[in-house]
Amino acid sequence: MDDDQGLGRRRWQLAALLSAPLLWLGVAYLGALAVLFLSAFWTVNGFTGEVVREFTLDNFRTIVTQEVYRNVTLRSLGVAIAVTVICVVLALPMAFYMAKVASPRTRHWLVIAILTPLWASYLVKAYAWRVLLANDGPLDSVIGTPGYGLFAVVIVLTYLWLPYMILPIYAGLERLPDSLLEASADLGGRAGRTFRGVVLPLLVPSIFAGSIFTFSLSLGDYITVQIVGGKTQMLGNVVYANVGAANNLPFAAAIACVPVVIMVIYLAAVRRSGALEEL
């Protein structure tokens, strides 16, 4: 009897402890997502501007059939892929140096150097790049500026999300025992061979973890695009325009579903490849 009572009380304590986070997850997090999905199937009355709560696939039909939206989707996808690939290429040697070459002291400072930009406001950093990339700006007077546009968007997004790629790869390398690298060298493997044969395969989960950040953050971005993108439009801008000027919330919701669907497909592909089960 005493045991039963004790168990019951512990259950209550557990329930009390978890109720707040569960409420948040259920109502605020999943609830908002559900409303988003639901409203994507509604429309707006062209005259009154009021939301018509009737199920229709019109919004999605528009996205798929109209070339503008297809182009915006492909452009966003291209930018997200480019940013992710550049981040991987930059992060790998950087993280490797931090985890395996640098002295503990240098490593310490490098981690701080990578984390500090994250403390600064996103807007400030984006505007800093606007100044950098301006005609007759600092970059222009040294090597020439690509000007505002798609290329500038890729540069700035890469700059913004690079820490999110470096940190998981760095953590992955820290977990990688030095003896594996030594074993490869011992068996005749030069640096390149060791990197391709041992380091890279073991870092796949870390790279995927980082890519989920860089990919999804790039896919949904609209502020950087507005600041340095010139006339470039990405999915986020279309959402923003439909929420604001066009006042078509259902269509904005439908557009917002596009990156969500792309991310779900990406995660499913990662899972299917079995890359995350290797370790």
Partner 1 sequence: MRTPAIHLSGLRKSFGAVEAVAGIDLEIDDGEFFSMLGPSGSGKTTVLRLIAGFDRPTAGTVSLSGREVTKLPPYERDVNTVFQDYALFPHLSVIENVEYGLKVRKVPRKQRRERAEQALAAVRLADFGARRPRAMSGGQRQRVALARALVNRPKVLLLDEPLGALDLKLREQMQVELKQIQRDVGITFVFVTHDQDEALTMSDRVAVFEAGRIAQVGTPEEVYERPASPFVAGFVGTSNLLTGAAARTVVGRDGTFSVRPEKITIGAEGAPGTVSEVIYAGPVTRFVVDLDAGARMVVVEQNRRAGKAQRGDRVQLTWQQEHVIEIGGDRAA
Name the residues that contact partner 1, by CB under 8 A.
177, 179-180, 182-190, 193, 197-198, 201-202, 278-279
Q: Tell me the HSE value of 218 on the side-chain side, using a 13 A CA sphere.
A: 35
- Residue 67 or residue 186: which is nearer to partner 1 going by CB? 186
Nearest CA to 253 among 76, 60, 78? 60
Residue 111 in tokens: 């981690």
Instruction: Name the helix (H) or strand (E) containing 44.
Output: strand 43-44
Nearest CA to 170 among 216, 215, 212, 111? 111
Nearest approach, Cβ of residue 267 and partner 1 (Å): 21
**How far, CA to CA in Å, does 251 sit from each of 68, 126, 221, 223, 268?**
14, 28, 18, 20, 26
Residue 59 in tokens: 């919004």
- Residue 187 or residue 264: which is nearer to partner 1 going by CB? 187
Nearest approach, Cβ of residue 191 and partner 1 (Å): 9
- Residue 158 or residue 184: which is nearer to partner 1 going by CB? 184
Residue 73 in tokens: 């989707």
Residue type, position 109, single letter: W
- Residue 144 or residue 192: which is nearer to partner 1 going by CB? 192
Contact (Cβ atoms closer than 8 angstroms) between residue 228 and residue 148: yes
Alpha helices in 67-199 (DSSP H): 67-96, 104-119, 122-133, 138-142, 150-175, 178-186, 191-194
Nearest approach, Cβ of residue 212 and partner 1 (Å): 21
- Residue 59 or residue 194: which is nearer to partner 1 going by CB? 194
- Residue 46 or residue 188: which is nearer to partner 1 going by CB? 188
- Tell the residue number behind the tokens 């222009």, with chain if given: 140
Residue 228 in tokens: 């340095």
Nearest approach, Cβ of residue 204 and partner 1 (Å): 8
Nearest approach, Cβ of residue 105 and partner 1 (Å): 12
- Residue 104 or residue 144: which is nearer to partner 1 going by CB? 104
Residue 238 in tokens: 């279309």
- Residue 70 or residue 271: which is nearer to partner 1 going by CB? 271
Nearest approach, Cβ of residue 99 and partner 1 (Å): 17
Nearest approach, Cβ of residue 195 and partner 1 (Å): 13
Nearest approach, Cβ of residue 274 and partner 1 (Å): 11
The torsion of the CA quartet 127, 129, 135, 139, rounded to 10 degrees, works out to 150
Residue 30 in tokens: 């999943």
